[in-house]
Structure 1
Amino acid sequence: MNALSKISISDLTVEERLELIGALWDSLEDGDVPVPASHLAELERRMETFEQDKVHSISWDVIRAELERDF
């Protein structure tokens, strides 16, 4: 680390360090962070399940109406 030394980082408050983490994360572009193939495969699996399960889903309006009726 050249611009920020470990000593100067440790002098920051927890809130300031969290803000720094956020700023660093936000400075990254989509392609800067590699995504493991296993994560991509899991995302694909979940999206397929999501698409299949949408047919059997119940809208929030229906659920809310049922809850309000029961209470």
Structure 2
Amino acid sequence: MHPILKVDISELSVSERIQLAEDLWDSILLECDASEFPLRESQKQELDRRLGLHRQNPQQGSTWEEVKQRLGFDK
């Protein structure tokens, strides 16, 4: 167990560990400037490609809720 934590992470359920990871990541992002995480040109191009596909057909794809349900995280 990491000394900063009051619980053994391995005792948490998968959904609790995912939530912990999300909370940790959110806490990091709140303290950082986006310029501290520069994107490579290939990453920018991929994001632009995906945004273009979405704009061409905004109904295609899944909502976050649908993805969580399909992966079994809604239980």
Normalised by the size of structure 1, how large is the TM-score? 0.46
Higher helix share: 1
Larger Rg: 1
TM-score (norm 2): 0.44
By relative contact order (CA 8 Å, sep 6+), the higher-ranking structure is 2
